Amino acid sequence: MTAAIVWFRQDLRLADNPALRAACDRGGVVIPVFIWAPDEEGDWPPGGAGRYWLHQSLASLSAELERLGSRLIIRRGDSLAELGKLIKSSAAEAVFWNRRYEPAVVERDAGIKAQLRDQGVTVESFNGNLLLEPSQTFNKQGRPFRVFTPFWRHCRKLGEPVAPLPAVRKLRAPDKWPRSLKLDALELEPRIDWAGGIRAHWTFGSKGARESLREFLADDFQGYPKQRDYPGVHGVSRLSPRLHFGELSPRQVWHAVREHEIERGYVSETRHAEAYLRQLGWREFGHHLLYHFPHTAQAPLNDAYRDFPWRWNTAGLRAWQRGETGYPLVDAGMRELWHSGYLHNRVRMVVASFLVKHLLVHWLAGARWFWDTLVDADLANNTLGWQWAAGCGADAAPYFRIFNPVRQAERFDPNGDYVRYWVPELNALSNKALLAPWQADADELKSAGVVLGKTYPQPIVDHKQARQAALAALDTIKKKT
């Protein structure tokens, strides 16, 4: 009986997995494989938080496969070499995988596909991770989109995404399994256990992903358009790491939303559904941009910003990373990130703006910190977000739009629920003082046990002065923008 290898990557699920389905439909033995090859990811090998999540998700996938009488073969090293060894040991005649779209991986995969085909191996790749292929999405002039709204309008005109594939229920096993490493041999988990906060905030694997989606649709979906900007309430789905590691596919999410509407008797597309599905659109847009403009992982899309006078501000960067800037909303966000591996999207915009505009630190420094600390670190969307904040990317916020972190807190955390949770040393302050403690009355600070500069830092920069400095920096390149 012939055998086919299914190369799992960022598609760690059994449902809506086109590569796995193709191998099953072929009718022979199916050998599921994961290869740990971080050196093949270019300048962006997986960060610490991502590696931790990957370990848990691989363990979950392995258990799911074992329940089907199969198993996950784990290897590490050069992907082409390991696939070659597996083909030889199993007499496999085909290799299937779902595509990824990061520049280094696209180049790697193209080379592997060509070499295996030259050896007479059947190789097929599939779209299992996006709603639309970036290679097939262009504007009327035949060029890639650079603005989100026309991109999304174009996508929506193409109709609803195809329905997700059902979960695989049976896999043919070989008479003899190829050699496999233990998952622990990949050393994805930290030697010093710093991941307790991540464990406390998440469940891992496709089962946990499906439960998270069901809970969101049942509890928070109706209020999504209004609540999504408020970090102190449960108003978002938190599905981003699920989508990044492929515990869920975007097609599964899309059609679950549509089924939710039908179950509740809606006869047309609802406002909350469109608001949420639009966020899937932003994910698609990020991958569209990175695929067509691969240099943007390291350099600005807007060439004028190559000459922007960024500052080497080690002390400011360190204070930002630690959540010790003296601006409570910024500090709350950075502490949430460090503890849980996650950061609410509204707060992501605030902390990113603070780094690149209040401190004039290069956006790549922030992107790399997020890359190492976010469980949903995704090169396409991380790049899109940071270039948006820095004003140098597609559809970016103008650089002269400078978030005031106090005003942002007043608007989106007016009762201080979010700040109080993550910055507990300020708990006893009134709502007004909580969001700008350096402006508080001395008696209130004393009564609350807050000593600025000791129990909580003074602001490391004055907002008004920082704004003026940012605008002056912009003036140096304004003629080029």
Annotated binding site for FAD: 224, 276, 376-378
Alpha helices in 302-451 (DSSP H): 314-322, 328-340, 345-353, 363-373, 379-390, 405-412, 417-422, 431-435, 442-448
Under 8 Å CB-to-CB from 376, ≥6 apart: which residues? 240, 241, 243, 244, 341, 342
One-letter amino acid identity for 163?
Answer: A
User: 32 pairs with which residues across the strands?
Assistant: 6
**How many Å from the N-terminal Cα to the C-terminal Cα in the chain?**
62
Among candidates 162, 153, 185, which has minimal Cα distance to 281? 153
Cα distances (angstroms) measured from residue 424 to each of 331, 335, 417, 421, 440: 11, 11, 10, 6, 17
How far is C-alpha 12 from the geometric centre of its chain's CA atoms? 15
Tokens at 149, concatenated: 């709204």
CA distances from residue 270 to 109, 111, 131, 221, 261 in whole angstroms, order as listed: 40, 44, 20, 11, 8
Annotated binding residues = 224, 276, 376-378
Q: Are 247 and 12 in contact (CB under 8 A)?
A: yes
Residue 16 — left, alpha, or beta (φ > 0 → left; ψ -120 to 50 → alpha)?
A: left
